[in-house]
Structure 1
Amino acid sequence: MLVLTRRANESIVIGDDITVTILAVTPGGVRIGIDAPRDTRINRAEIVVAVSDANQEALQTAADSSAESLLLAALAGRGTTP
């Protein structure tokens, strides 16, 4: 990981088309501005993690539900009820 020190109104350039500017530094956090092409996706890390976790949970729920349905169908085919 590259670590840089920047002050308010200073920038860093990433590649040819992304500029990150420090807008303000306060005790509560740092405000940054990102100038990038419209087709560049920019997300906060915690949002990416939350979406990934939700997708994994949904996938697991679907897999559990599907397995349960298959088991019930197999039992029903044998004339057995759970």
Structure 2
Amino acid sequence: MLILGRKRNQSIIINEMIEVTVVSIEGDQVKLGIKAPKSIDVHRKEVYEEILTENNEASIEASEQLLKQLSQSLNKD
């Protein structure tokens, strides 16, 4: 993990496409501004993990449905 010290209004650039700026520091909370192309998804980590969980659950459900349909189709023959 790279650890950088930044002050308010200072930025870092990631891969020439993403700029992360320290907008404010209030107590133990840091507010960041992120500039990125619209083609790049930017999520808080907890939201990203929830998306992954929901996608996995949907994938498992779809797989189970496909297997059930395939089994029913094979049993008809």
Shared fold by TM > 0.5?
Answer: yes
Q: Which runs of 5+ in 1 are unaligned?
A: none
Q: Could you tell me the percent identity over the aligned residues? A: 30
Take 1:15 and 1:35, find their aligned partners in 2: how far apart are those partners? 12
Cα shift at 1:66: 3.1
Take 2:10 and 2:25, find their aligned partners in 1: how far apart are those partners? 11
Rg: which structure is higher?
1
Alignment of 1:22-61 (within 5 A): 22-27=22-27, 29-61=29-61
Distance 1:55 1:17, change over 3 A: closer
Q: Which runs of 5+ in 2 are unaligned?
A: none
Which TM-score applies when normalising by structure 2? Answer: 0.69
| 2:5 matches 1:5 | yes
SS in 1 for 2:25: strand
Cα shift at 1:28: 5.0
Amino acid at match of 1:62: A
